[in-house]
Chains A and B, each alone.
Chain A
Amino acid sequence: MAISGYVLVALSDAPDLPPDLWVLLAAMIGLFVVAHFAVRRLAPRATPVLVPLAAFLNGIGFVMISRLDRDLARTQAIWTALGIIAFVATLFAVRRVRDLERYRYTFGLLGLLALLMPLAPVIGRTVNGARIWVKIGPAQVQPGEAAKVLLVIFFAGYLAEKRELLGAGSMKSGWVFRHLMPLVAAWAVSMLVLIFQKDLGTSLLVFVMFASIVYMATNRIRYLLGGIIVFLASAAIAYRMFDHVRARVDIWLDPFADAQDRGYQLVQALFAFGSGGFTGTGLGLGSVDKIKIPAVETDSLFVVIGEELGLLGTAAIVIAVLMLAGAGFRVATTSRRVFNKLFAGGLTTVVAIQAFVIIGGITRVIPLTGVTLPFVSYGGSSLLANWIIVALLIRMSDEAANDAEASIDELAEPAVPV
């Protein structure tokens, strides 16, 4: 509740906005309150920190989008509403996540389809060089966002079943290999994504998700190391084979070499971060209206935050993501069922790594790849998927608390907020 209050304050801190935006703002705050009460009713024992953290990120993103473009803000408000509806619906529909586990192969297949859908003719769309969009009727969606969730269900379900086999070192290697086949397939898929969709970010995300779930399932560091080596090797090959991969890496190594063209986005991002400094220029007082930054409302929204809210704003977001991840991993560790552990760990990893990939990319920690910043960036698919992820984590948090109480009464300790 306290954090909810903080979120309200953070949101109302926005500058003098036109009247219709006050309506939007009120609607946003109302939505988060709805989400909060949905949790109280549908998952009363769940950790209370997840919704406020997600709402904080969603709210900051909304304020920044409002500052950039009021029409986009309206759309984002609608998407947020849909996200909250999806959140409540998920809480309502998924009473036990093990129901999802049962359909893991179906979900896996759906996830695969969703991931590869943009490659299909007619409906696939290439935007900003990445073929990750699907146009169905008037709506343009990124099925990759849904694929994340679906694939985590599959990985978690599959590994919950096979982990004994993979974890047992005594098994014959052929035996292990056969059971690893679906995972090898997943790796192949991530490479396909990399090659055909020119989408480094999603590829990296799928791969990290897969490697970390395997590791969490088996506690065998060799899978993790093996995965990393394979990925680095594939990346090295991709660097040699594909121009767009090489370009990304070259820009990362020296963005100023081509500051006006290919390095423009990163160079402008670095300048904006520097100009923002510790406290930022103040909301609405940055130069984003005058200096165009590519993908400013999605991939580069963090740059605007960096310039206008300074290190205070950017660090707040990173810390919020960190707290969100902390809460997610706590759900994983407090869960009793193996599937829940892997599912919660996997979902949390996906959200955290996605945040790392985009923030790290735009701050030149790693090569820049276009993925959205969870909850913050403009984009319906991403919002929807992330709110569903939070709903699932809350469901599992509630389950964990119930399970704990059911088994050992005296040690029952509901998950306490950090």
Chain B
Amino acid sequence: MNTPIRRVGYVVAGLMVLLIAQLTYLQVIEADSLANDPRNVRALIRDFSRARGDIVTADGEVVARSIPSDDIFEWQREYPLGALFGHVSGFQSIVYGNSGIEREYNRELSGRDPVVRIQSITDLSEVFVDEAQTGTVVLTMTAQAQQLVRDALGDRRGSIVVMEPKTGAIVAMYSNPSYDPTPLAGHNTQTVQDAYTLLNLDPAKPMLPRAYAEIYPPGSTFKIVTTASALDTGTATPDTGFPVVREIDLPQTSNTLSNFGGANCGGSLFESFVRSCNTTFGLLGLEMGNAFVPAMDRFGIHDRVPIDLSNPGPSRSLGPAPDSFAENQPEFAYAGIGQGLVATTPLQMAMVAASVANGGLAPTAHVAGQILDARGAVVRTMNPGPWRRAMSPEAAAAINEMMVAVVERGTGRNAQIPGVTVAGKTGTAQVDGDRSPHAWFVGYAPAENPQFAIAVLIENGGEGGDEATGGRVAAPIAANVLGQLLATPPR
């Protein structure tokens, strides 16, 4: 009678094997889809129920922190500075995922970065305590500078970017309007969705970080790029003479390209730059032809300016297509004055100014400066090195002189700061339809030892047909911001 006992034993063994097979199916084969099933809140809980590290400004203000909550997640993310850093901090949302710093440095903030972990653990019991493992992200930005640029913009729609030209560290970057991310970090799905929908319905697009995720025609500020291209391609020197005319004829069409206000403008490249003569730079665009595109691409046109922010990330800048000169010559003239097919982000134009200030090297833009462990010790310092060479040092030196002259006696006189040499370039960018042009100013100061590079964009802030409006609207804002930053250095 051992035979039937054995058979029962085999059946039992078979059943146990069946269990192991099913467990393997659930815990290995189907594990991912079960774990990530939208109805399975375990992964969310794991992410949300740990206290994340703080995001703090370089001057010690808390941008994001986790406070205890009495729901299942135990911790609630909040953004005490609200809209001031909304586009930078981003949010941690159970509905829309993470954005901004919250997304880009999620590993460090949530304590999953192995470096942060190992350095944080002083004794073994801390392995079981989540809070001890989270990292703090210290921004390169200061709350003081950010508040300053927000005040400088006032209720005008637009964007200001300030960075250190040598390091690419962003000092301030604000776009108006902005938004408070706190409601999006709530734990009630419906409330979060309502808040998001409301923000999305706002025609002013408060969730759009205009500084790096929206592109605009750069107008005459792009003449820096045109000049650098002309110098580095050997098309012209600062002394090359150009006709003093009201307008030039455009090939392949009956259109003409005229100076602002139909004024006579021209002379040397240097003088044309100081007076921002459209005719000169239109001619340069035509003269360079296909060589213009790779030269402007050295600045990062046709590319995104890398920055440690995502969802949304930086937008791609646009320009004429490579080797398209033969079929579309007028676009190269328009590109010479930053119109037509050219469109860039304010961050890109700040980078252009920074490149000139930095001897032709474009730095790598970044908003996070340091990662600290739970005890406040520095785990990592961001020092990303240069992004790319935008122009030769010689071209940078020549353009530096031109930009100083622009503020000294040209279109950018409103950017002057007493006792400080400011370098800059104004822009008034025509837009489609009958809306007012965008007012631009890009520059840096002090010119002999640049501390800050700046781009100011006021959407539809200029007055049509008046090249001076970039200087009238945007330049004073830049002077105000640079002056105060230099008077009371942020760090």
B5 and A345 contacting across the interface, CB-CB below 8 Å:
yes
Which of chain B's residues have a CB closer than 8 A to the CB of A365?
A: 18-19, 22
* A360–B31 touching, CB < 8 Å: no
Known: A315-B20, A341-B5. A353 touches B12 (CB 8 A): yes
Q: Is the CB of B37 within 8 A of A284?
A: no
Q: A274-B26, A326-B13 are in contact. Are A291 and B45 (CB under 8 A)?
A: yes
Interface residues of B in 19-38 (CB under 8 A from A): 19-20, 22-24, 26-28, 30-35, 37
In the assembled complex, which residues on chain B have CB atoms less than 8 Å from the CB atom of A329?
Answer: 5-6, 8-9, 12
- Complex Cα gap A360–B469 (Å): 77
Cα–Cα distance between A283 and B235 once the two chains are bound (Å): 71
Neighbouring A residues of B2 by C-beta, 8 Å: 332-333, 341
A321 — which chain B residues lie within 8 A by C-beta? 16
User: B9 to A326, Cβ gap below 8 A?
Assistant: yes
CA–CA, A17 to B408, complex, Å? 73
Q: Is A75's beta carbon under 8 Å from chain B?
A: no
Expressed in whole angstroms, the Cα–Cα distance for A273 and B20 within the complex equals: 12
Q: State A360–B19 Cα separation when bound (angstroms).
A: 6
Could you say which residues of chain A place their CB within 8 Å of the CB of B27? 273-274, 276-278, 306, 310-311, 314
Which of B6, B12, B28, B49 meets A278, CB within 8 Å?
A: B28
Decide if A193 is an interface residue (CB 8 Å cutoff): no
- A281 contacts which chain B residues (CB < 8 A)? 46
Report if A274-B31 is in contact (Cβ < 8 Å); known contacts: A318-B20, A352-B12, A363-B26.
yes
> Which chain B positions have C-beta within 8 A of A348?
9, 12
In the complex, which of the residues A267, A307, A356 contacts B19, with contact meaning CB atoms closer than 8 Å? A356
Interface size on A (CB < 8 Å)? 55
Q: Is the CB of B34 within 8 A of A352?
A: no
Quote the shortest CB–CB distance from B94 to chain A (angstroms): 13
Residue in B4, B12, B34, B43 whose beta carbon sits within 8 Å of that of A273 in the complex: B34
Digit string of A267-289 for contact with B (CB within 8 Å is 1, else 0)? 10011111111100100110100
Question: In chain B, what residue has the closest Cβ to A310?
Answer: B27
Within the complex, the shortest CB–CB distance from A104 to chain B, in Å, comes to 18
Task: Given the known inter-chain contacts A16-B125, A329-B8, please indicate yes or no for A270 contacting B26, CB distance below 8 A.
Answer: yes
Q: Hey, which chain B residues are within 8 Å of A338, CB to CB? A: 1
Chain A 335-367 per-residue mask, 1 if CB under 8 angstroms from chain B, else 0: 000100100010011001100100110011100
- Asked if B45 contacts A273 (CB within 8 A), the reply is no
Q: Are B46 and A352 in contact (CB under 8 A)?
A: no
Instruction: Write the chain B residue with the least CB distance to A307.
Output: B42
Would you call B128 and A359 a contact (CB within 8 A)? no
Q: Which of B1, B34, B37, B49 meets A290, CB within 8 Å?
A: B49
Q: With a CB–CB cut-off of 8 A, which chain A residues contact B6?
A: 329, 333
CB-CB under 8 A for A272 and B23, given A216-B5, A278-B31, A345-B8:
no
Q: B382: which A residues are within 8 A, CB to CB?
A: none
Q: Does A210 contact B (CB under 8 A)?
A: no
Q: Residues of A contacting B33 with CB < 8 Å?
A: 274
* Bound CA–CA A16/B19 (angstroms): 31
Q: Which chain A positions have C-beta within 8 A of B49? A: 290
Contacts of B128 in A (CB 8 A): 15-16, 284-285
Query: At the interface, yes or no: A236 with Cβ under 8 Å from chain B?
Result: no
Q: Flag whether A28 is at the interface (Cβ < 8 A).
A: no
Tell me the minimal C-beta distance from B355 to chain A in angstroms.
Answer: 49
Q: Does B3 contact A (CB under 8 A)?
A: yes
Q: Write the nearest CB–CB distance from B60 to chain A, whole angstroms.
A: 33
Given A275-B40, A287-B42, A333-B2, check contact A318 B16 (CB 8 Å): yes
- A271, B23: Cβ atoms under 8 Å? no
Q: Flag whether A154 is at the interface (Cβ < 8 A).
A: no
Give the 10 A-B CB pairs with smallest separation, nearest first. A274-B34, A329-B9, A271-B40, A311-B27, A273-B26, A290-B72, A322-B16, A275-B42, A219-B4, A277-B31
In the complex, besides A322-B12, A325-B13, 16 extra interface pairs with C-beta distance below 8 angstroms are A216-B8, A271-B39, A274-B40, A276-B27, A278-B28, A285-B128, A287-B42, A287-B45, A287-B46, A306-B23, A318-B16, A318-B23, A329-B12, A338-B1, A341-B2, A363-B26
